[in-house]
Amino acid sequence: MKKPVKCAVVSLGCPKNLVDSEGMLGWLAQNGFALTTDLERADVIVVNTCGFLKAAVDENLQELKRLAKLKKQGKCKGLIAVGCLVSRFPELVKQVVPEVDACLGVGEYHRVPELAAQLTGFPLSVPKSLGESPCAPRIISTPHWYAYLKIAEGCDRTCTFCVIPAIRGKQKSRPIEGLVAEAKELVGQGVKELILIAQDTTRYGVDLYGKPMLPELVSRLARIDGLKWLRLLYCYPTAVSDRLIEVMASHETVARYIDIPFQHSHPDILRAMGRGGDDELFSRLIEKLRAAMPDIAIRTTFIVGFPGETERHFEHLLNFVREMKFDRLGVFAFSPEPGTPAFHLPNQVPNEVTRERYHLLLAVQREISLQRNRTFVGRTLEVVFERWDPRTGVYEARSQYEAPEIDGVVKVKGWMNDGLVGKFANVRVIKALPYDLIAKFAVERRRKNDRQFELRATDRV
């Protein structure tokens, strides 16, 4: 029998890219390719790239160069670069990594099986149907208890620092019915947490239904039997409506968590960024969210060193952060990206000033985060166990207040094997660190056969 052609997909960048990569895995499998995560043994390596910021461009080119070595060593027959970096700088990719055999921009992913076949002589007859969405059929690559659900592609906003609309085009929402069907299928497969993503989740539906439909979508998804947490990422601040807050608050399955990238607090800088809102509007929104869901964890990101940001603007931002006491906060140093309006703005902030502001804002948040974490000491939290370290016997877990891969973790001591990975149970917080919590098992242990123990009651899976 002929040996199967093995393909590997390397996903770089954000969860939106990951969903695209999962789609590519699905199409490759449907068309008869074998899948592998062992890059040394792959006949074809597909690299889904990120080209959002200069730092990402550099990192992605390095990664492509590293993988190109496998081709030079004769281990892999084909190297295919796809995604944002390719759409943004196709010539650069070919120039820096000449070993790349083929480049496919955003929106051309369906051609991956055809190219993999050409590069390996694989007899691909007719590429199988790709389904109604660019995400179907997917092979989920996240741990089995959570999955991302990409509800729209592209973005209608005009943030002056951002290349995404130029790369990914205008927003294209997926129909509600298809999303609900996909979500049910995922939950049927054992997924307990669904994470809604898009460039701007709050604008979901405007292109398709003529109005924002995120509240309706959330309300449909939150009622899926077997779903434990529904999490919302990438909400645009001025578009978080009262209706959305009401829907979130009325469903227990909606995680008490929201990610709203505010990007700045000063109206001058927000205007220069091409973004709506100001600090007053933002603080009213935060108040409303906390009134409706007192335990909600609010995550945000800010950009420091945007052109024209003076000491006064930055002080405004620091004060805003001190007052709002965000539960989670990420900081980006402004990166002037060719092709964006902000690249040409006057009064660019020197790098060393931007760096200083970056560290200062993080230091302010570190203290806020520690204070906030201390309020959890003594509380019982339901968590999902994600990793177990055999050397220390410590589990890394996550409650509804933490999103995977971007927030801190709950470290839980006191278990003797990895048998709880993917399960939910209650733990009691015993110590706060600036970003993580330390906890121990909150459930009573029952002696069984003198040596074994088991979790009671809240062990759901």
The residue ranges that bind ligand SF4 (CB under 6 A) are 155, 157, 159, 162, 164-165, 199-200, 236
Shortest CB 230 distance to ligand SF4, Å = 21
E strands, 281-423, where? 297-304, 328-333, 380-389, 394-399, 410-413
Shortest CB 164 distance to ligand SF4, Å = 4
Please, is 38 exposed, middle or buried when counting C-beta atoms within 10 Å of its C-beta (0-12, 13-18, 19+)? exposed
Contact predicate 205/213, CB 8 Å: yes
Shortest CB 143 distance to ligand SF4, Å = 27
Nearer residue to ligand SF4 within complex by CB, 198 or 230: 198
Shortest CB 197 distance to ligand SF4, Å = 11
HSE-CB at 267 with a 13 A cutoff on CA atoms is 5
Q: Cα–Cα distances in Å, from 162 out to 35, 54, 154, 208, 278?
A: 34, 12, 12, 24, 19
Nearer residue to ligand SF4 within complex by CB, 64 or 304: 304
Contact predicate 180/211, CB 8 Å: no
Nearer residue to ligand SF4 within complex by CB, 67 or 233: 233
Nearer residue to ligand SF4 within complex by CB, 200 or 386: 200
Other CB atoms within 10 Å distance of the CB of residue 5: 22
3 state SS of 333? strand
Nearer residue to ligand SF4 within complex by CB, 27 or 236: 236
Nearer residue to ligand SF4 within complex by CB, 173 or 199: 199
Shortest CB 179 distance to ligand SF4, Å = 20
Shortest CB 50 distance to ligand SF4, Å = 13
Tell me how far apart the alpha carbons of residues 341 and 343 are, in angstroms, rounded to a whole number. 5
Helix axes 351-374, 311-324, angle to 10 degrees: 10
Shortest CB 158 distance to ligand SF4, Å = 6
Nearer residue to ligand SF4 within complex by CB, 234 or 320: 234
E strands, 351-393, where? 380-389
Shortest CB 54 distance to ligand SF4, Å = 16
Nearer residue to ligand SF4 within complex by CB, 124 or 342: 342
For the CA atoms of 420, 424, 425, 429, what is the dihedral angle to 10 degrees? 100
Tell me how far apart the alpha carbons of residues 235 and 198 are, in angstroms, rounded to a whole number. 9
Of 248, 232, 189, 202, whose CA–CA distance to 403 is shortest? Answer: 232
Shortest CB 52 distance to ligand SF4, Å = 9
Nearer residue to ligand SF4 within complex by CB, 162 or 331: 162
Token code pair at residue 335: 């990166």
E strands, 58-104, where? 78-83, 102-104
